[in-house]
Chains A and B, each alone.
Chain A
Amino acid sequence: MWKLAFRNIFRHQARTALTLAAISFGVIALILAGGFVQDIYIQLREAVIHSQFGHLQVYRAGFGTFGRRSPYQYMISNPERTVAELRQLEHVVDIMPRVNFSALLSNGRSSLPVIGEGIDPEKEVKLSSYMRIKSGRQISGADAFGILLGEGVANALKVSPGDQVTLLLNTPEGALNTLDLEVLGVFQTFAKDYDDRAVRVSLSAARQLLATKAVHKLVIALTDSNLTEKVAARVRQTLPPREFELKTWYELADFYQKAVDLYQRYFAVLRLIILGMVLLSVANSVNMTIYERTGEFGTLMALGNRRGDVATLIVVEMLMLGLIGSAVGVVLGVALATAVSSVGIPMPPVPNTNTGYTALIRVVPAEVERAFLVGLFATLAASLLPAFKASRRPVVEALRHN
């Protein structure tokens, strides 16, 4: 049966080639589209982690719920001990304390509300690989009174590196405090709304402004983003839950979550379209084949083959076509993806971002596997009805086609 089916599909090479082309094209389209979407996830993920959030953030318990309203009541008062504890964990590259504050930034003529972060310059520069310094320079450990501005902040206040600016904010005690700082540099991340509001100062300057030794959060950087879950579980075991709470980067990245949500839907529709296409093209050629071979099936049945045998023969032929077509599609798709990735696709800026980026096509085993299965099952599904119909034809009538 298998041998016969195998021979049959090579009897009519032009037709087989066309059917194979349809199946392979579908599989290739799935691999490329899926790889493209995967790449968006990965690039967005790394950008989010390496410009804003790090992999994990540890807060004082209650910060997530009440921290926005009364940020100074939910600070980690003794960060050194916790840092030492967390440093023992596997896959942890670094742990960085941060202080957050919201303040008014003034250039002397007007002021702008900003969201500020006090950071440890030496460590954060390593983490913030997706933060581009557009002008000026990075903040360093020696810059106690320097400030980095987001691109939008710098534009709005018309200040450039070297200018003096003033930060005005409420201290935890309720008093107003100001600090004169020198603009060191202007940064740009992927997120325009972040650049429009964010400033960064050194941890020592922030502590002086707020008159506190405590910090708001400890940002943990990991060796690999895929280990986030694993390390998060470990951290939860290590730290007493009554004192601390933990958030992963994906819980913090609202933009990322929504983008993934949207693309998943978009991709589901695309997959449906490709599935429909494979089904229709395959149904088309299967129908052709079977109509043409009516006489042959009549002969088979006249020779004593059962109706079931004929139906099985047809389905087995199509199964083989599906296997070959999908395999060819996988090979070509992976090759194409690799070729395209080595060149890169220049993309326009995504909404809410400032700069375009170079898209790649990732080859993800799970996506490739799914594309292969879609190709195979679409072919199989398309062959069922015609196979059934062909095997139900009265033998005499079928024979007359010869």
Chain B
Amino acid sequence: MLDLLFACRNLTRHRVRSAISLTAIAFGVVALLLSGGFIEWIFFAMRRDTIHSLLGHIQIVRTGFFAAGAADPFAFLLPETAEVLSAVQSASSVRMITPRLSFSGILSRGESTVSFLGQGVDPEKEKEVSRFVTISQGDALSSSDPKGVILGEGLAESLGAKIGDRIVLLVNTPSGGVNAVEGHVRGLFYTLSKTFNDSALRLPIATARELLRVSGAHTWVVLLDDTDKTTATLNLLRRRFPPSTAKIEFVPWYDLADFYNKTVTLYSRQMHVVKFIIAMIVVLSISNTMMMSVLERTGEVGTLMALGFKSKKILALFVAEGFMLGLGGGLAGVVLGTALAWIISAIGIPMPPAPGMTHGFTGEILVTPGLALVAFSIAAGTSTLASLYPAWRASRLNIVDALRHNR
């Protein structure tokens, strides 16, 4: 304890030098917090958008649907009502459960024809589940307008379709026949996935069932009140409805969000590079400062040794100084970085559309406690490490030679 107090006093003896080192450390911590916080925010926003536009938190499907469903969609239909449905609805963390029916077909408007991937959804419930399916023109689906269809922006563009246009949907039915329905474009939407915007349309599930001549749904999308409860709820549901008896499976969003998972892997790796660079800043700046300090205070070290200080004690003293510098710089950096993150988030960072997206977005910076802790530990840890060598040099000084420096 005395060591630390002593170290603090020594540091205040040479204010300019300490200030510069502190600035370097704090700069590193701020850089880490801001760049890391930006990436944390991207993860957060991407997770939120993916869940609230495409996936929901948990999807309930017939066993094997994701492996083989696209090849034989009508073999994997869920019934319209089931015991599972009401049981899931009444689970404590579940906010909502909504059915979706997926199919593909050909869409035509006048002379032009394109193929599409369709989703029949419950218009009212989907408003809440799909908060991040942004309606850019026209209106969202409504059950009072059963023939109103919303198109992805890219799909509408390749068809040349505008709000109010008549369109015809042509699909294969389970019996092998062909069925068609005439509808109109009620709105255009976009999500964070360009692929989805380019090929998808949504319409009320009642109309979709009529068109395909089926009942039921392919997926029940479960929305929870908190994303962090996904795994707990998933385990609960899986225990209650074992796949062997219920013939259904529960799939969490993170098993389906391929794009999200790959983004997290890639960006996390890039963050390691930034962390390494920042650790190097701290090491270089601290070893520089400590080296100067040792050289300058050779006489002082000699005096201390002559007074009976063991070389271990000298070592501890200098390491304590490095540690205190790291602690102070780290703290200052965390405070400053958090404040800056807060200000920048309030203004927003205009970002161009990322690969695979169609619309730009406004970035923010999310400093999580974990990130702050990592940044702080890097500062304190590396500065202690960097002070080891100068401290060792100081502790190895020859008393007589060192004393001679006092003139």
> Which A residues fall within an 8 A CB radius of B?
14-15, 18-19, 21-22, 25, 29, 33, 68-70, 102-104, 106-107, 109-114, 155-159, 170, 174, 192-193, 196-197, 254-255, 258-259, 261-262, 265-266, 269-270, 273-274, 276-277, 280-281, 283-285, 287-288, 291-292, 347-353
Contact = CB atoms under 8 A, between A and B. Distances in A.
Interface string B148-192: 000000000111100000000000100000000000000000000
B291 to A, nearest CB: 6
The CB with the most chain A CB atoms within 10 A, among B199, B292, B355, is that of: B355
A104 B106 CA distance: 8
Given A22-B288, A280-B24, A351-B262, 20 more contacts: A15-B291, A18-B291, A29-B277, A33-B273, A68-B158, A69-B160, A106-B172, A110-B72, A113-B199, A159-B71, A255-B356, A259-B355, A265-B351, A281-B284, A284-B17, A284-B289, A285-B288, A291-B16, A348-B265, A351-B263
Interface in B346-373: 351-357
Contacts of B357: 258
A18 B352 contact: no
A351 B266 contact: yes
A73 B141 CA distance: 34
Contacts of A348: 262, 265-266, 269
A287 B16 contact: yes
Contacts, number: 167
B278 A111 contact: no
Contacts of A19: 288
A-B interface, 5 closest residue pairs, ranked by CB to CB distance from nearest: A113-B115, A158-B71, A156-B70, A280-B24, A69-B160
B115 A352 contact: no
A280 B23 CA distance: 8
Contacts of B270: 266
B374 interface: no
Contacts of B287: 18
A170 B288 contact: no
Nearest to B273: A33
Nearest to A286: B20
B116 A113 contact: yes
B285 interface: yes
28 contacts: A18-B287, A19-B288, A21-B284, A29-B277, A69-B159, A109-B72, A110-B72, A111-B172, A112-B70, A113-B116, A158-B72, A196-B195, A197-B199, A258-B352, A266-B270, A270-B274, A277-B27, A277-B28, A277-B284, A280-B24, A284-B285, A285-B288, A287-B20, A288-B288, A291-B16, A348-B266, A350-B262, A351-B262
B28 to A, nearest CB: 7
Interface in B90-123: 104-106, 111-117
Contacts of B128: none
A351 B112 contact: no
B48 interface: no
B175 to A, nearest CB: 12
Interface in B252-290: 258-259, 262-263, 265-266, 269-270, 273-274, 277-278, 280-281, 284-285, 287-289
B73 interface: yes
A14 B284 contact: no
Nearest to B26: A280
B266 A281 contact: no
A70 B24 contact: no
B335 to A, nearest CB: 18
Interface in B170-228: 172, 194-195, 199
B197 to A, nearest CB: 11
B385 to A, nearest CB: 16
Contacts of B24: 277, 280-281, 284
A280 B281 contact: yes
Nearest to B32: A273
Contacts of A273: 31, 35, 274, 277-278
A22 B74 CA distance: 65
Interface in B279-317: 280-281, 284-285, 287-289, 291-292, 295-296
The CB with the most chain A CB atoms within 10 A, among B20, B23, B295, is that of: B20
B71 A157 contact: yes
A66 to B, nearest CB: 9
Nearest to A32: B273
Contacts of B285: 22, 280-281, 284
A110 B212 CA distance: 12
A25 B284 contact: yes
B84 interface: no
B230 interface: no
Nearest to A345: B269
B5 interface: no
